[in-house]
Structures are given as structure tokens and as C-alpha cells.
Amino acid sequence: MNKILEIVLLAIGVAAIVVISYWLGQQAYSWMPPAATAEARHVDDLFSFLVALGVFVFLTVIGTIVYSIITCRTTKNDYTEGHPARGNGKLEFLWTAIPTVLVLWIAYQSYSIYQQLDIEGLGTIMDSSASLASQPALATTVIQPTSQPIEEIEVLAKQWVWTFRYPQKKIATGELHLPKNRRVRLVFQSEDVIHGFYVPEFRFKQDIIPNHTLDFTFTPLREGKYKLHDSQFSGTYFALMEADVYVDSPEAYSQWLKSTNGNTMKLNLAAAEHAQKPQQLIKSNWHAVEPYLPLVATEVKSKN
């Protein structure tokens, strides 16, 4: 009878661990910033699975310890050793095969996501309310045919300012505007050191390497204002190398392109901090790189 009760309690414990792990995995969607691109859901799905898997492993280990304490107790003053696990081929196979399969599966899923987030982006994007139940704001059907023209924007990084060029309008700005529900290709270049393009809501980070042109295609889905950060240590003021990112409706985006043609300047936080008189007890005499002047909107002259 005790054996049957032990099996029943063990089954209940395993079921509880599975339910709790799945529940926390679903809660993980709300731990991330609101997803603003179609491709972000793939990253969120992987993050949710990793959270569920981590919780399952943690609770399983704790549960095994508690189970052993309760069921494997011996009598007082009994110092005999239990049966050794060494040499148990089945047990060694299980604790080697299971982690190996899990790690390979995670690696495969990660590689698949990066393949889907390559320079061609997702050719056709179909988001149903069922697959985005945890993100009601994105629970709409969006279809982007591959034949749709891509909005190309050049991203220039330098210490410590972002510049965004719109070749079709021949303008450059210090803030990034993107059209909602349209594929956008960002072309990255660096003038000095390695920088990192990172918008948390977009769920991707792209290193920008000097003397190399890299590009990335994605589809913004959520209107709003976001913050671009430099994810690489690119110098003294890299933490201040930020820029505003706007996802606009197609109409608002077109209107912004038409109205943006002046030389309006904007405060550069790195330049402002560099201009302040240093307050140091001990002078290091270390040279600090002079920040570039800020840029919000200027007209790009034709090379011809």
C-alpha cells in the first residue's frame, strides 16, 4: 500500500512540476519589453521555452532532493553505504543523453531563428491571434508579400552619435523613423570602432564593424517611440550613445519624410558631458575622444 501511495504522490509531484514550469514559461512573455517587430515573436518563443525548461530542471532537482530525504531515510546509527550508481549503464546513458538532446535542440532553434532573421527577413509574415494570444496588441493578421518594396535606411555609427540616411529622400537625421507593417532594411556602417545596434523591443542586436557593410531586414508592427542603445563598449561615452526610434503609420511616415529637410540640431549627451569641467581628485591625463557634433536632420548632397 505504501508503495502505491508513493507512486501516486510521485506522479502528482511530476505533474505539478510540469504545470508550474509551463505556467512560468508563459509568464516569461510579459517579462520582456513589448515586442515591436514581427520577428520578435520567435525570440520570445525561445525565451519562454528556456524559462520553462530552467524551471523544470530546478524543480526536478529540488523535488528529487526532497523525495530522497523523505523516502530514503535510514535507521539511527546505521552507517552502511547505499548501492553505488557507478557502473549503471542505463543511468549514465540517461543523464548524458537527455542534456545532450536538450542542448542540441536549443542550438537548432537558435540557429533557425537567426536564419529567419537574415538579411532577407521574413518573406511572408502571417500573425494570427492564436499565436500571439499573449500579446494582444499584435493579435492581428498581417500579410507582407515578398514583392513589396523594401524601405532602405543607412545607419552610420561613430563616437558617439547615430546618423540615419534615407537615400530615396536624400536626407540624414539623428532619429530613426520606420513605417509600420512595411519591410525595412537597415544598412550598417561604422566610421571608427565596433558599435552595437540594439533596440530591446525589436529583439535583435547587430554588431557594426568598421570597413564592413552589414544589413538586416525586419518588419515593425507596433507604433510608438523606442530607444536605440549602443550594445558594445565603444569608448568613454558609449552609454550615452542613444537615439530615438519611431515606428509611424505609413501616412505619418510619409508626412515626416516630406517635412524633414532642415538643419535642426539636437543635444548630444556625450558632447554635453564632454564639455563639462572634470571633477577629479587625481588627474589621469588620459585623452578622451572628442565627440562628434549632433545631427538631427540635414540634406544629403548628391555625389553627382
Higher-pLDDT residue of 281, 129: 281
Q: Taking residues 242-256, what's their average pLDDT?
A: 92
CB-CB neighbours of 62 under 10 Å:
11
178-202: pLDDT as tens digits: 999 998 999 999 998 999 999 999 9
Q: Taking residues 44-66, what's their average pLDDT?
A: 91
**Residue appearing with cell numbers 509531484:** 13
Residue 144 in this model has a pLDDT that exceeds 50: no
Identify the CATH number of the domain defined by range 151-277+287-299: 2.60.40.420
pLDDT of residue 121: 46
* Angle in degrees, CA 178, 269, 35, rounded to 5: 35
Residue 289 in this model has a pLDDT that exceeds 80: no
> 218 forms bridges with which residues in the sheet?
184
202-228: pLDDT as tens digits: 988 889 999 999 888 888 999 999 999
104-138: pLDDT as tens digits: 988 888 887 777 665 444 443 334 333 334 444 44
pLDDT of residue 85: 65
> 247 forms bridges with which residues in the sheet?
178, 224
What sign does the CA torsion over 240, 216, 102, 20 have? positive
Closest CA to 239 of 159, 155, 164: 159
Tell me the HSE value of 229 on the side-chain side, using a 13 A CA sphere: 12
Cα–Cα distance, 271 to 253 (Å, whole number): 29
- What is the domain partition of the chain in residue ranges? 2-72+88-116, 151-277+287-299
